[in-house]
């Protein structure tokens, strides 16, 4: 049984390089920003960070495949690195510090590719979270200076904190009614957005979170960190892992209720 710790250490090296590249251009007055065909922004820093990570992977892990948001799939095989160079590009280009580089290693198994290593690095917040399969999830400044993550034990929705990104996606999918019913039931709601709600679930600071439309690179690293912290990560269809095109994450105790509300259609 592989322990993935060498891969985790290497993922930290990749994150260190990406952090240096992204912070170098954060709040730069001459930052170049383009609009992709799907009408989402991409900055020169997104591209530079992904190119940097791909270059290091090509040298150190030449047999592994790579899937990245900006440059697609490269290579084949049972191991695939999944990269979002800047998750939260809209925040990045506006100078909001809530953005992160997401790096995950996925490995082929009986149920398809599943994440076995994940690193989420948010240098503008001074935070990093990581996990490896069967080794738990952690946060801290480095591998040697870290604290273990544990989800909350909140068992009632009326006591729960619910995080989300926005309302528009839920409305487009006809799920807004159930979403609003959930917001009325819980103790507290906050729209932290992007990677951060999942990390807060892993820390036990938030109890449930969900997003209606996502790509694999948005979810793979988050999924392993949430599950290794004792939580549950599925699609809105209840399928475990980051493969459903959307996500629901929780402390596990509230997951069925979370899915029940979000699958109500009006």
Q: pLDDT tens digit string along 157-205?
A: 999 999 998 888 999 988 999 999 999 999 999 998 899 999 999 999 9
Residue 266 has pLDDT above 90, yes or no: no
Return the SS3 of 186. Answer: coil
Confidence of residue 53 (pLDDT cuts 50, 70, 90): very high
In sequence order, the β-bridge partners of residue 208 are 162, 250
Q: List, in order, residues 6 or more apart from 56 with CB less than 8 Å away.
A: 13, 14, 17
The mean pLDDT of the chain is 92
Q: Which position has the token pair 């807004």?
A: 176
Packing angle, helices 255-262 and 176-185, rounded to 10: 140
d(CA 103, CA 13): 11
Tell me if the pTM is above 0.75: yes
d(CA 68, CA 103): 9
DSSP state of 4: -
DSSP state of 132: E
What pLDDT, on the 0 to 100 scale, is given for residue 37? 58
Q: Where do runs of H (alpha helix) occur along the chain?
A: 5-25, 44-60, 89-94, 168-172, 176-185, 196-203, 216-228, 255-262
Whole-number percent of the chain with pLDDT over 90: 76
Average of pLDDT values for 245-262? 97
Residue 3 has pLDDT above 90, yes or no: no
């Amino acid at each position: 049984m592989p322990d993935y710790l060498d891969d985790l250490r290497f993922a930290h090296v990749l994150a260190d390089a990406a952090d240096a590249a992204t912070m170098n251009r954060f709040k730069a007055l001459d930052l170049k920003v383009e609009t992709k065909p799907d009408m989402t922004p991409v900055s020169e820093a997104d591209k530079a960070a992904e190119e940097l990570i791909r270059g290091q992977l090509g040298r150190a892990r030449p047999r592994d495949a790579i899937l990245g948001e900006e440059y697609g799939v490269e290579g084949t095989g049972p191991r695939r690195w999944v990269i979002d160079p800047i998750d939260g590009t809209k925040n990045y280009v506006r100078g909001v510090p809530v953005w992160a580089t997401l790096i995950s290693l996925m490995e082929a198994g009986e149920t398809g590719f599943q994440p076995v290593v994940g690193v989420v690095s948010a240098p503008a917040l001074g935070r990093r979270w990581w996990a490896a399969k069967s080794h738990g999830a952690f946060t801290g400044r480095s591998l040697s200076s870290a604290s273990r993550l544990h989800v909350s034990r909140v068992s009632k929705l009326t006591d729960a904190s619910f995080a989300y990104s926005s309302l528009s996606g839920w409305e487009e999918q006809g799920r807004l009614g159930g979403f609003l019913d959930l917001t009325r039931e819980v103790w507290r709601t906050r729209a932290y957005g992007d990677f951060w709600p999942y990390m807060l679930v892993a820390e036990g600071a938030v109890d449930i979170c969900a997003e209606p439309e996502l790509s694999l690179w948005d979810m793979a690293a988050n999924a392993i960190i949430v599950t290794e912290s004792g939580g549950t990560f599925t699609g809105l269809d209840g399928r475990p892992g980051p493969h459903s095109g959307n996500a629901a994450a929780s402390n596990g105790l509230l997951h069925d209720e979370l899915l029940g509300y979000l699958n109500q259609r009006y």
